[in-house]
Chain A
Amino acid sequence: MPPEVLAYSRYFSDYIAAGGALDLVLTLHNVEANESKNVICPFINVNPLTPVDADLKTIATFNGAFFQQLRRVGFLTDDPTRSWAHGVMLFRLFGKLSDQYGAQAFSFEVNDRYPASRLSHTQLQEIGTILAGQCYVWCVSEEGRQRHHQITQHLTQFRQRRQIYLDTRQIRPDGRTPHELVSLGY
């Protein structure tokens, strides 16, 4: 197994075990010149704590507000309710963290080389500024607070299961196997 996978798995499992939580997980990618507008949502990663319909609505709301702010200052975006695919991407870090720890996941493709709207790296950073603001707005919204409460409860139960698992098998944290770290998130 690649050491990077183990290192990040250990880092996040220790972070969660120590009482940390992940509310939002964002993954950022880029496409080529004519493959998409400046910002699109390529994949909707379904959250394990939420019914699919509600989850789709959450993502559409977040993306809708984010894309609206982008368009207001001249960036081009796709329809916020559309994506190339949806499901659960367990083979990607963001999908794994969402599945194991309940984080709300968002994925975005950015394209600074779109022929109709090319961007400088300064403008790419402006997209980051807008995204940071949108994350904050979501976190302090009623939905964001409810989701935080939901995740907190989920992680409380998760930590209990983890502790029982480690205790019954008499496993010390430094003796966890790749399966326990990566597959179980313990």
Chain B
Amino acid sequence: MAQNRVKQLWLTCACLLLVLLATLPLHAQPGEGSDVPAIATTSQDGFNLVVSEMITPSYACLQVSPPTHGWFAGSFTHLPVKTPVTLGLSMGEMRDGELDADVTRWLGLQPVMTYADPTQYAAYEWFRKDPQGRWISGDPFKVGEARYAGMELVPKQTVIPEEVASQFLSSDGAIWTPWREIDNVEVLPNVNIFRIRETYALPSATVAMRVPYTYTYLQDFLSRLQAAKLPGVTVDELGKTPGGRALQVIRVTDPTDPQANRQSILVIAREHATEPAGSWVAHGMLQTLLSEEGNARCVPIAPGSSSPSRTRMAAPSRCMID
């Protein structure tokens, strides 16, 4: 009888222990209960990923704040290196029969990443190999010898450490940009979660849905554009947004005859803040007009154009041209 009571007591204790173990927090809050700093995000212009919970030191739950399936980007620090890291984007739960953001919109999505500081102008500079095997910068403000970045496997640049720079080569080795794709992703529609798995070489990296085109970058580009004092190129300032951002229009006109009765083209990009791809297309239009090659192709702004009505084109960024 006494033996049975002792056994019962032990069983009770064992059950209590199990209950206690079960109530221990399985999900640590960021930075909680560990000597190793937890993965964290740093605030950036237009970025919207925030670490909400650490499942393990190498598995961070992220909130897209505010919830949207149109855009995500985050700059991370304290990433565990040389081990797989999972970033789980929680897109919110069903409310009133509707999702704030639906992860099924990302089926097939491969996001991009960089080790470059996304606030730097050079974090968006790309290079292309010419027929002689020289790397040539795509930055329109680099002229002469400054355009060339060597003939090595990767171009000479300052934003990606040399030891990982080859990760950012195109498959044919002819183009280099500081951004590359992440192909290990998983869409979990039943729980509305998007998982990104990557082994990082460095503890700081930026991950985004697509290559950002930030306001900071635009202002940096415009400063260089104005400093270059290119004939026929002006930046009009219209005012400020309530948030203090400049309202601008870039104008590109035929410097040989600015008063001519010519046609005008207006390009509007980024009417929607979460759609940077349109800004890159507009940026490409502008770069074409500013480049020597572009002048040759787009006869309208080339001196001595024989076209009956001179076409004036302008390029955009947030909004427009003329």
Q: How far is the CB of A7 from chain B (nearest CB, A)?
A: 4
Chain A 1-45 interface 0/1 with B at a Cβ cutoff of 8 Å (1 = within): 011100110110001000011111111111011110000000000
A122, closest chain B residue (CB):
B126
The CA of A39 and the CA of B204, in the complex, are separated in Å by 33
Q: Which A residues are CB-close (under 8 A) to B209? A: 113
| B265 close to A29 (CB less than 8 A) | no
Contact present for A28 and B309 (CB under 8 Å): no
Say whether A112 faces chain B, with CB atoms less than 8 Å apart: yes
Once the chains bind, are B287 and A128 in contact (CB under 8 Å)? Answer: yes
Report if B283 contacts A (CB, 8 A): yes
How many residues belonging to A are interface residues under a CB distance threshold of 8 Å? Answer: 56
Contacts A11-B249, A140-B311 given; indicate if A103 touches B266 (C-beta within 8 A). yes
| A97 close to B (CB within 8 Å) | yes
Asked if A94 is at the interface (CB within 8 A of a chain B CB), the reply is yes
- Chain B interface residue count, CB cutoff 8 Å, equals 69
Q: Are A126 and B284 in contact (CB under 8 A)?
A: yes
B275 contacts A by Cβ under 8 Å = yes
Within 8 Å by CB of B307, from A15, A115, A118, A140, lies A140
Q: Are B265 and A135 in contact (CB under 8 A)?
A: yes
Residue of A nearest to B293 (CB): A129
- Nearest-Cβ distance from residue A173 to partner chain B, whole angstroms: 15
The reply to whether B280 and A121 contact each other, CB–CB distance below 8 Å, is yes
Residue B109 CB within 8 A of the other chain: yes
Q: For B210, what are the chain A residues with a Cβ–Cβ distance below 8 Å?
A: 30, 112-113, 121
B224 at the interface (CB under 8 A from A): no
Residues A22 and B266 in contact in the complex (CB < 8 Å), given A124-B281, A145-B309: yes
Which residues from B are CB-within-8-Å of A65? none
Contact B277 A30, beta carbon cutoff 8 Å: yes
**Smallest beta-carbon distance A89→chain B, Å:** 11
Docked CA distance A97–B299 (Å) = 26
CB distance from A109 to the nearest CB of B (A): 8
Interchain CA distance A126-B280 in the complex, whole Å: 9
8 tightest A-B CB contacts, nearest first = A128-B284, A125-B284, A28-B278, A115-B108, A30-B277, A33-B109, A124-B280, A121-B211
A residues in contact (CB < 8 Å) with B: 2-4, 7-8, 10-11, 15, 20-30, 32-35, 92-94, 97, 103, 108, 110-115, 118, 120-122, 124-129, 131-133, 135-136, 139-140, 144-145, 148, 152
Q: A20-B322, A22-B264, A25-B266 are in contact. List 4 more A-B contacts (CB 8 A).
A: A24-B266, A121-B179, A122-B175, A140-B299
